[in-house]
Structure 1
Amino acid sequence: MSTNIYFTRHGETIWNTNKLMQGWKDSPLTDKGIKQAHQLSERLSDIHLNAVYSSTSKRAIDTAEIIKGDRPFEIVKLDSLREISFGNWEGKTFEENKEESPEEWRAFWETPHLFTNNSVESFVKVQERMVNIFKEIVEQHPFQDICIVSHSIALNLLMNYIEKTPLKELWSTPPIPSTSLTLIKANTNYYEILYKYDTSHMVETI
């Protein structure tokens, strides 16, 4: 019972370009982000996708709609695929948060396995919801091809689980590029990573 799961991160957004933390807040895709989504859609055009799942954040839904194209089904939108909630950090720059919460900011990036904050969602909680919904999707779609559109840290935490990497090494790999593609062959007993964060479909955009 093998399922092919294609993961991607939403296209570039306005807040991405302004280096503002989004989390559960949102901002529109840029023209570049829209072009990125169309490039990924073209790459997946020959794949018989049986379903497309998306975070309920509009930046993810808009990316998912482009990927889905004219396929005859509705996108499944799930809160469990949302980005980590940054709480009071949302809508602020990295520098602003570093100045306002220096110790917690340092822990977020240097010791993620120990990080706690009253308003920021814990890494453990995000990983738990991402892993749970991933397993549910695999069980619901045996022998099918599924695309999931989510977010950088949420997907990083899911891959962290799949690769059996300790949480303290969460930041050991570079950030996930917008609309990069990861393919996991999955069943209830094993996960095989066929490729990870691939950007070969992307050409220079504005």
Structure 2
Amino acid sequence: MSTHIYFTRHGETVWNTQKLLQGWKDSPLTDRGINQAKRLLHRLSNIPLDAIYSSTSNRAYHTAEIIKGERNLEVIQYESLRELSFGTWEGKTFEENEKESIEDWISFWETPHLFANKTVESFVNVQERMSNTVKMIANNHPDQNVLIVTHSIALKLLIDYFEENELKDLWATPAIPSTSLTLVKFNDDQPEVVYKYDIEHLIEANRE
């Protein structure tokens, strides 16, 4: 027996469509984001979830509430499941941030293992808080099914940690799609990534 934890990124938000960095700031789900969450609700309808967690950001909590559907569960929120804090970069476009702090911006994307900024949260800190929180959740739900709704970079850092990937390769894979599904099995505290960032439920929606 093992604990199954399903991870997803929140649905599309207004700031996503405007190419604005969110981090700890927030913006509401778009109609498309709501529909993405509903598609994931349908996909998970036959999975007997025992608990649902989300970050304290409204976009993640709203997504979790949609996916919860008619289940008699409370969405439990943890600040430690939030996105990386972009500090003074939040609420600005990529172009604005590149122009205002070009060296740090280039380092963020090209040498993440060397990146350091006074206001932007470190990758290592996000990785530590995410992994510690998820391990705690897994220990609290032995042999159960759990859903965690979190964020793109936070989830990427977590899965890279589980897969023992180097931080310098953080951006070697594409951005995580909204409401994509990742499954990690925990056996005696040992995580196994079964699949990651799967969007079959969204592809099916596009076929209809």
Same fold (TM over 0.5): yes
Q: For residue 75 of structure 1, what is the aligned residue in structure 2?
A: 75
Q: Say whether the 8 Å CA contact 1:139–1:187 is kept in structure 2.
A: no
Mapped partners of 2:188, 2:95: distance in 1: 42
Letter in 1 for 2:98: K
Please list, as runs of the form range in 1=range in 2, the aligned pairs for 1:5-154 lying within 5 A after superposition: 5-154=5-154
Cα offsets for 1:60-86 (capped at 9, x unmatched): 000000011111121010000000000
Q: Say whether the 8 Å CA contact 1:4–1:184 is kept in structure 2.
A: yes
Q: Say whether the 8 Å CA contact 1:138–1:187 is kept in structure 2.
A: no
Q: Say whether the 8 Å CA contact 2:113–2:168 is kept in structure 1.
A: yes
Q: TM-score, normalised by structure 1?
A: 0.97
Gaps of 5+ in 2: none
Q: For residue 196 of structure 1, what is the aligned residue in structure 2?
A: 196
Letter in 2 for 1:52: I
How far residue 204 of structure 1 moved from its aligned partner, in angstroms, is: 2.6
Cα offsets for 1:82-112 (capped at 9, x unmatched): 0000000000000000000000000000111
Letter in 2 for 1:179: T
Count of residues in Structure 1 that have an aligned counterpart in Structure 2: 205
* Paired residue secondary structure (2:201): coil
* Paired residue secondary structure (2:125): helix
How far residue 57 of structure 1 moved from its aligned partner, in angstroms, is: 0.2
* Paired residue secondary structure (1:171): coil
Please say which of residues 180-189 and 154-163 is displaced more in the overlay: 180-189
How far residue 189 of structure 1 moved from its aligned partner, in angstroms, is: 4.2
Mapped partners of 1:84, 1:51: distance in 2: 24
Cα offsets for 1:91-138 (capped at 9, x unmatched): 000000000000000000011111110100000100000000010011
Give the 4+ runs in structure 1 shifted more than 4 A: none
Q: Say whether the 8 Å CA contact 2:3–2:187 is kept in structure 1.
A: yes
Q: Say whether the 8 Å CA contact 2:135–2:189 is kept in structure 1.
A: no
How far residue 13 of structure 1 moved from its aligned partner, in angstroms, is: 0.2
* Paired residue secondary structure (1:184): strand
Letter in 1 for 2:86: F
Q: Say whether the 8 Å CA contact 1:177–1:197 is kept in structure 2.
A: yes
Letter in 1 for 2:48: H
Q: Say whether the 8 Å CA contact 1:57–1:82 is kept in structure 2.
A: yes
1:180 aligns with 2:180: yes
Letter in 2 for 1:197: Y
Identity rate of aligned residues, in percent? 64
Letter in 2 for 1:93: T
Please give the root-mean-square deviation of Cα atoms over the aligned residues, in Å.
Answer: 1.0
Cα offsets for 1:123-181 (capped at 9, x unmatched): 01000000000100110000000000000000000001011001111111100000000
Letter in 2 for 1:177: P
Mapped partners of 2:130, 2:25: distance in 1: 18
